Structure 1
Amino acid sequence: MLRKKTLGSMIMVGGLIVGLTACSSGGSDDTGSAPEGESAGGGEAGGLITIIVNDPANPYWKTEGDLAQAKAEELGYEATVGAHEGDTNTENTLIDTAIANDSVAIILDPANADGSIGAVKKADEAGIPVFLVNAEINESGLAKAQLVSNNAQGAALGAQEYVKQMGEEGTYVELFGAPSDNNAQTRSNGFETVISQYPDLEKVGEEVANWDRTEGHDKAQALMQGNPDIKGVLAGNDEMALGAIAALKEAGKL
């Protein structure tokens, strides 16, 4: 089971806000203190940064928004956090609001690798830089940066431990993240690159659970019903894994 790298992503969010501040810098104060009207990062503070996350009901995305907002405000910006909950229409509305409110930048965890391209393009055409965190879109050159964890490497490392815990043999099922998020396939591929080297490990089922704990629970139940003798469950994120753990406990299999 693979956890999303909350701390690493938050460090990247803080870094991009500092970078945004520095881009507007005309110089630094040799005394080390920021002149009036400037942030500690060396640039002119002020203006609104709009932060758009996926679903704050998920602790990862809640933390993502909270820490980005806190860092922006620490640097002297106003900040607002909205959530699209995986819906591109909601995402479009939030981008429209950010444009109407004259945001100086948008930090976006995109709803869809393909479906979010139009929203990012709209902001770019309005002259507002967009920084993507956690997930990517399938078009380069629109966002100023796409900051993501190395999901392939992380999944491979997780799979190595999984193989050890499974004793290099047995049947298992996989809970797959949201297909609209490139991270889901990248992580699944990362698992496969390692597990495929062990012929006595066999995947006998897979269900999409959309990074969600409730779906993870329900899909794990369904997979267990169809495959009652499985030895393990592999999940692409912590929320799906926690749902699967609850289902396994209920079935007396944990």
Structure 2
Amino acid sequence: MLPSPPPRIKRMFTATNFATAKRVGCFTALLSLLVSGCTSSSSTSQSKDDGNTKPRVALIMKSLANEFFSTMAKGAESHQAENADQYDLVVNGIKDERDVSRQVALVEEMVASGVDAIVIAPADSKVLVPALRRAIEAGVTVVNIDNRLDAEVLQQENISVPFVGPDNMAGAKTVGNYLAANRKGEKVAILEGIRTSFNAQQRLKGFEAAMKDAGMEIVSSQSADWEMSRANTVASSMLSEHPEISAILAANDSMALGAIAAVKSAGRAGEVQIVGFDNISAIQQAIQDGKVLATADQHGDQLAVFGIEAALKQLGSENSESDSSIEDVETPVDLITSETLVKE
């Protein structure tokens, strides 16, 4: 055994180590903060290495800054809590609806972590498909919710992914029909979602079909990327360029909120009708206040649950060696107006 150092040397050694440890600790804490700031995932899952044999399901959504997806996450977490003996859940979301690369990375991270299933609301209908193909090749069950994956790209990648979600075109047409039946004028504008998203394309078609049937003219149709601030800017420009606009059809409620602000800034509150899609709580209040005419409820609190249940069904079929394939599942979408809110 080596002799102990003299007390003075020992004190110097200890102080030096303490200072170094303190600097390392600060750096580690800073690094942890930076890493945590770049992810928006939460987990109720446990590792299989810990002896857990329940299936692990990863829910991958779009922006949690959008109330629709935060509601979706809460619904999924409540379902897992009620069925904790059946499966574990990992919840993920991106910060920006347009951050497709981050969502691709989340798919890869979930596959690497060993999840059994991925339930995904893709930010882009095409770009996510190759990553999901790799997930399927790794043995992961994949279920598509909210925004349908592109059929042509799925065929190119030689995979089939079941879609669990509403008929967005039919839902948007219902909202458009209600606007047409209660219209104040003939000229309208549309705020589209991200144009590469299938649900944005379908809602646009639904709005267009309703306006065509009613003989109403669409004088402007532009994308506002699903975002409230962007919608405010785009709608303000529309109203300035086309003062004859009597209504704005927004492909989601966040954009409808942006349209409300634009209409107010233009001094046309009460003149320009607004409809949306999603039925978030802020829009319910706006409908009651007369600022929004109608929206579509695709039951965001249950949409992920429908997808999770489909994934669990497929996993159960695989374990029982029966037919493991599942078909598309159409989920409900309902018209929400001041009258339906009163009934609720």
Q: TM-score normalised by the shorter chain: which range applies?
A: 0.7 to 0.9
TM-score, reference length from structure 2: 0.57
Measure the CA separation in 1 of the matches of 2:81 and 2:60. 16
Q: Does 1:131 align with 2:143?
A: yes
Select which of 186, 194, 207 maps to 2:210.
Answer: 194
Measure the CA separation in 1 of the matches of 2:234 and 2:100. 25
1:102 partner amino acid: G
Select which of 61, 64, 68 maps to 1:53.
Answer: 61
Select which of 229, 233, 248 maps to 1:214.
Answer: 229
* Structure 1, unaligned runs of 5 or more: 1-36, 38-43
Q: Does 1:116 align with 2:124?
A: no
Measure the CA separation in 1 of the matches of 2:235 and 2:53. 48
Contact 1:95 1:119 in 2 (8 A): yes
Q: CA deviation at 1:47?
A: 3.7
Contact 1:91 1:119 in 2 (8 A): no
2:245 partner amino acid: I
Q: How many residues align?
A: 210
Select which of 249, 265, 280 maps to 1:234.
Answer: 249
Measure the CA separation in 1 of the matches of 2:201 and 2:111. 32
What root-mean-square deviation, in Å, do the aligned CA atoms of Structure 1 and Structure 2 show? 2.0
Q: Does 1:250 align with 2:265?
A: yes
Q: Secondary structure at the match of 1:166?
A: coil
Contact 2:211 2:218 in 1 (8 A): no
Contact 1:131 1:143 in 2 (8 A): no
Measure the CA separation in 1 of the matches of 2:222 and 2:179. 18
Find the structure with the greater CA-based Rg. 2
Which residue pairs with 2:316 in the alignment?
none
1:136 partner amino acid: R
Measure the CA separation in 2 of the matches of 1:198 and 1:99. 48
Contact 1:135 1:183 in 2 (8 A): yes
Q: Does 1:79 align with 2:89?
A: yes
Contact 1:156 1:193 in 2 (8 A): yes
Deviations 1:200-223 (A, max 9, x none): x21111110111111111110111
Identity of aligned residues (%): 27
Detail structure 1 runs of 4+ shifted over 6 Å in the superposition. Answer: none
Between structures 1 and 2, the one with greater helix share:
2
Q: Secondary structure at the match of 2:257?
A: helix
Q: CA deviation at 1:144?
A: 4.5
Measure the CA separation in 1 of the matches of 2:246 and 2:90. 45
Which residue pairs with 2:290 in the alignment?
none
Select which of 165, 190, 210 maps to 2:182.
Answer: 165
1:243 partner amino acid: G
Q: CA deviation at 1:184?
A: 1.1
Measure the CA separation in 2 of the matches of 1:226 and 1:114. 34
Select which of 74, 84, 96 maps to 2:108.
Answer: 96
Q: CA deviation at 1:225?
A: 1.3
Which residue pairs with 1:184 in the alignment?
200
Q: CA deviation at 1:45?
A: 6.4
Measure the CA separation in 2 of the matches of 1:145 and 1:69. 22
Q: Does 1:62 align with 2:70?
A: yes
Q: Secondary structure at the match of 1:130?
A: strand
Measure the CA separation in 2 of the matches of 1:52 and 1:69. 13
Measure the CA separation in 2 of the matches of 1:150 and 1:45. 36
TM-score, reference length from structure 1: 0.77
Specify whether residues 118 and 73 from structure 1 end up closer, same or farther in structure 2 by C-alpha distance, changes over 3 A only: farther
* Structure 2, unaligned runs of 5 or more: 1-50, 270-344
Measure the CA separation in 2 of the matches of 1:216 and 1:45. 46
Deviations 1:169-208 (A, max 9, x none): 4211110111121111111111222211233x21111110
